Structure 1
Amino acid sequence: MTTQAFGLSKSNSVASATLRTALSDIYRGFVEFTHNGMALLGCALAVGIIALAARGDLRDSVEQKALDWLLQRQDTGMVIEQPTLEPETVERVAAVTPDQLPRQQANVAHWLSRKYRVAPEPLSALVAEAFTVGEKVRLDPTLILAVMAIESRFNPYAQSPVGAQGLMQVLTRVHSDKYEDFGGQMAAFDPLSNLRVGVKVLQDCIKQAGSIEGGLRLYVGAVTTDGSSYINKVMAEHLRIRSVALGKPMPTSFPVFSAIPAPAPVEPELTLPTQTGFLESVPVEGAIVLPSDPAAANDLSSS
Structure 2
Amino acid sequence: MNHATSFERVWRSASSGLFRMAHGSLLALGLVAVVFIGSGRLDGEQATSFNALVSEANAAETPVVAAAPAAKKVSAKVVEEDVTLSREMARVRDWVSRRYKVSTVALEPVLLAAEESGRHVGIDPLLIVAVMAIESSFNPFAESSMGAQGLMQVIPRFHMDKIGDERGEDALFDPELNVRVGTLVLQEGLRRYGSMKSALQYYGGALSDPAAAYARKVMAMQQRLTTAAGRKSDGAA
CA distance in 2, matches of 1:72, 1:181: 53
1:171 aligns with 2:155: yes
Unaligned runs of 5+ in 2: 1-14, 23-82
Paired residue for 1:186? 170
Q: Which of 70, 73, 81 is equivalent to 2:19?
A: 73
1:84-111 deviation line (CA, Å, top 9, x unaligned): xxxxxxxxxxxxxxx9533212101111
Give, in angstroms, the shift of residue 149 of structure 1.
Answer: 0.6
**How many residues of Structure 1 are paired with residues of Structure 2 in the alignment?**
163
Give, in angstroms, the shift of residue 72 of structure 1.
Answer: 4.2
C-alpha change, 1:182 and 1:232, in structure 2 (3 Å) is farther
Q: Which of 203, 213, 236 is equivalent to 1:229?
A: 213
C-alpha change, 1:176 and 1:138, in structure 2 (3 Å) is same
1:53-111 deviation line (CA, Å, top 9, x unaligned): xxxxxxxxxxxxxxxx9x943947xxxxxxxxxxxxxxxxxxxxxx9533212101111
TM-score by length of 1: 0.48
1:148 aligns with 2:132: yes
Give, in angstroms, the shift of residue 176 of structure 1.
Answer: 2.0
In structure 2, what residue type is equivalent to 1:111? Answer: W
Between the two structures, name the one with larger relative contact order (CA 8 Å, sep ≥ 6). 2
Q: Say whether the 8 Å CA contact 1:166–1:189 is kept in structure 2.
A: yes
CA distance in 1, matches of 2:219, 2:155: 22
CA distance in 1, matches of 2:215, 2:173: 25
CA distance in 2, matches of 1:225, 1:135: 29
CA distance in 2, matches of 1:188, 1:202: 16
Q: Which of 214, 223, 234 is equivalent to 2:198?
A: 214
Paired residue for 2:43? none
Q: Say whether the 8 Å CA contact 2:126–2:225 is kept in structure 1.
A: yes
C-alpha change, 1:103 and 1:177, in structure 2 (3 Å) is same
| RMSD (Å) for aligned C-alpha atoms | 3.0
Give, in angstroms, the shift of residue 229 of structure 1.
Answer: 2.1
Kindly report structure 1 stretches of 4+ aligned residues shifted beyond 6 Å: none
In structure 1, what residue type is equivalent to 2:164? Answer: E
C-alpha change, 1:182 and 1:118, in structure 2 (3 Å) is farther
TM-score by length of 2: 0.61
Unaligned runs of 5+ in 1: 1-68, 77-98, 256-303
Q: Say whether the 8 Å CA contact 2:198–2:207 is kept in structure 1.
A: no
1:114-161 deviation line (CA, Å, top 9, x unaligned): 111111112111111111111111100000000011001111111111
* Identity over aligned pairs, percent: 43
C-alpha change, 1:185 and 1:179, in structure 2 (3 Å) is farther
In structure 2, what residue type is equivalent to 1:113? Answer: S
1:204 aligns with 2:150: no
Query: Does the residue aligned with 1:173 lie in a helix, a strand or coil?
Result: helix
Give, in angstroms, the shift of residue 185 of structure 1.
Answer: 3.0
Rg larger in structure:
1
CA distance in 1, matches of 2:166, 2:101: 28
C-alpha change, 1:104 and 1:181, in structure 2 (3 Å) is farther
Higher helix fraction (1 or 2): 2
